[in-house]
Amino acid sequence: MEMTISDAAFWIALMQIIGVNIVLSGDNAVVIALAARSLPPAQQKKAIIWGSGAAVVMRIVLTIVAVEMLKLPYLKIVGAGLLMWIGIQLLLPEDEGEGAGGATGNLAAAIRTILIADLVMSLDNVIAVAAAAKGSLTLLIVGLAISIPLVVFGSTFLLKVMGRYPVIITIGAGLLGWVAGDMVTTDPLVKEWVSIYAPWLHEAAEVLGAILVVITGKWLAAEAMLRRAMPEDLGPGAAGQIVAATAPVVAGAQATGASFVNRILLPVDASDHSVHAVEYALKMRQHHPDPEAFDILLLNVQPGVPGDVSRFVSKEALQDFHRENSELAIERARKILDEGKANYSVHTLVGKPWEMISGFASANQCDQIVMGTRGLGTNTGALLGSVAQGVAQYSKVPVVLVK
């Protein structure tokens, strides 16, 4: 029976469709932004409107086809397995691509890039939205009509919000598991049996699907972090010394065991904890017997974009994208260091933050790493951010964590 707007189930399903699109369209939003950025300002808006408009029409057609296909036996069960896999992948660290895509220096090329990328990268969206629509064409069209423009025109804002509050990604992964659980129990092959003999499975399968995706994804993400953060010759027992700091250190008492710390690595983003680390570094400089010899290496690490994105945009466009984001991330830190008349150099890297920070500190013979305990990409309730935890646990260089 077709749901109507007066049904509570209609609004619940509508929120699921919008949530799924927002979480799963991050890659598409990056492609849209990068494909248009190399155009003159007058053409950027045209590229986004025309390219995204064509992609929206294509997405709606594909989703309608998927809705009809999911009415066939077995396909919902297969789709549920695929959705759970997609949900788990959301929680795993992403690999940095090589930026092999071609340049998009004209309007037609940019529109073509947006359209092709959306076609290739939208399988997860199509299956998830088709499942959440529960066979309602009205619900499908309304949900896509609301969510796709939100992603297209609010892409930059949405990416920043998801980067600052990664719990949104976790919720999205759980939502995919929830939808997958519902798909299993509503497949034509088992739907009648479940309704007669085990109706409780409808709710239980949804909850279990969400829990399974989140637990599995988090566990695999933790394992991946440990593997990537630990070089072959370095184990947890070889980790650098960790110092939790809230007050200025005094000369001669720094964690290296040497008389004085002369060179520190200062990894920052735009978070308040990074500002505290910068202020702490200035206090270290003030207590140094020769402040002019105190060297600060200011570092920002940009997370790599997913490999799918790098297939559709040029390496140069990705480099510009990372550079501009890095400049914004270190702006507060540079202002504080300039006001403190500190000697510092600026560095930008792209990759896994804890790997880049640890490796850069060793390669540049830093005496200490000074960083905030949490950054923009950390849940508020965490004792340590994932980046700080990885660096503190596996760095060969002593680490000072500033609250």
For residue range 76-88, what is the model confidence (pLDDT) as tens digits? Answer: 888 888 888 888 8
Q: What is the pLDDT of residue 94?
A: 56
User: Which residues lie below 8 Å from residue 199, measured CB to CB, with a gap of 6+?
Assistant: none
**In degrees rounded to 5, what are phi and psi of residue 330?**
-100, 5
Q: Identify residue 259 by its one-letter amino acid code.
A: S
- What residues does CATH 3.40.50.620 cover in the chain? 234-402
Q: What length does the chain have?
A: 403
AA letter at 224: A
* d(C-alpha 3, C-alpha 18), whole Å: 17
Q: Which uninterrupted H or E stretch holds 93? A: none
pLDDT of residue 311: 67
In the three-class reduction of DSSP (H, G, I as helix; E, B as strand; rest coil), residue 243 is classed as strand
Q: How far apart are CA 343 and CA 24, in angstroms?
A: 43
Residue 337: which of 402, 262, 260, 284 has the closest Cα? 284
Ordered mean pLDDT values, 10 residues apiece, the chain (403 residues)? 71 84 70 71 76 76 82 85 84 57 63 71 75 80 73 63 72 87 88 88 89 91 62 37 40 45 92 90 92 93 72 76 87 94 92 86 93 59 60 87 86
Residue 17: its pLDDT value, please?
Answer: 83
What is the structure's pLDDT at 350?
Answer: 86
Q: What pLDDT, on a 0 to 100 scale, did the predictor assign at position 176?
A: 86
Q: What is the DSSP letter of 383?
A: S
Q: What's the CA gap between 335 and 343, in Å, rounded?
A: 13
* Whole-angstrom distance, CA of residue 50 vs CA of residue 284: 54
> What value does the CA radius of gyration of the chain take, rounded to a whole number of Å?
24
Which residues, 6+ apart, have CB-to-CB distance to 154 below 8 Å? Answer: none
Helix (H) or strand (E) holding 267: strand 263-267
Instruction: Please tell me the pTM assigned to this model.
Output: 0.60
Structural tokens at position 316: 């140069």
Say which DSSP state 101 is in: S
3-state helix, strand, coil in the chain (%, to 5): 65, 10, 30
Contact 90, 217 (CB under 8 A): yes
> Do the Cβ atoms of 373 and 248 come closer than 8 Å?
no
Please return the burial class of 341, using the count of CB atoms within 10 Å of its CB with bins 0-12, 13-18 and 19+.
exposed
Residue 72 tokens read as: 């066939």
- Range 234-402 has CATH code 2.60.34.10: no
